[in-house]
Amino acid sequence: MVNILSNTHSILNQHLAELRDAEIQKDNQRFRRNLERMGEIFAYEISKTLEYETKEVVTPLGIANVPMLTGYPVLATILRAGLPVHAGFLNVFDKSENAFISAYRMHHKDGSFSVNMEYASIPEIEGKVVILCDTMLASGSSMVLSYKELIAKGKPKHLHFVSVVASVEGIDYVRKHVPLSNVTFWVGVVDEELTAQSYIVPGLGDAGDLAYGKKH
């Protein structure tokens, strides 16, 4: 299942428009905050799919029966562009354990590139709900490599893939390389074009550079 949140009119579209806007992008702090807001909205939507149990909560005037999460999801992100989105998730699921995966593009002299995995810090995920987020889902290679790194540590009960901006090719690539029986996709918007260098068009540019400054 692929859930495209921009297909429904909501404040998410305002944040997405600002993320794309080349003028507003000049404000790095606002760019990060808009990604964080996107993470919070994704978290709220995903929270509707989780398991709850009713518990008694003592108020100053009596007892209220309230549905409460039976367990918090594990929050995983791909460094570095995924960090602001991850922060938004953590604002909502503030008791979650966290996983961090370092995957990056290695550009070659012939114009091609490969995606390398450098580091992963992963808690216990066996039988748990896991949310893996990144800002951009372009070729899909980073997401698939991160998925393989995660399942090497355990088998999740359910896995949610989250991207703010995705390409059609990226989604198709992940679907071809990941068993889909316990997987759900959540994206802000899907763009049709992916360049030969695997950049999404119209996209929004290099999310990591826009959030944290250009790398050398």
Of the pLDDT bands very low, low, confident and very high (cuts 50, 70, 90), residue 113 is low
Q: How far is CA 38 from CA 75, 130, 210, in A?
A: 15, 18, 16
Give the dihedral of Cα atoms 163, 138, 159, 182; nearest 10 deg: 120
C-alpha 201/C-alpha 52 separation (Å) is 40
Q: Tell me, what's the pLDDT at 31?
A: 97
Which residues are registered as beta bridge partners of 190? 166
CATH 3.30.413.10 is right for the domain spanning 2-48+73-212: no
Question: 55-103: per-residue pLDDT in tens?
Answer: 999 999 999 999 999 999 999 999 889 999 999 999 999 999 999 998 7
Per-domain residue ranges of the chain: 2-48+73-212
What's the pTM? Answer: 0.92
* C-alpha closest to that of 195 among 177, 164, 160, 169: 169
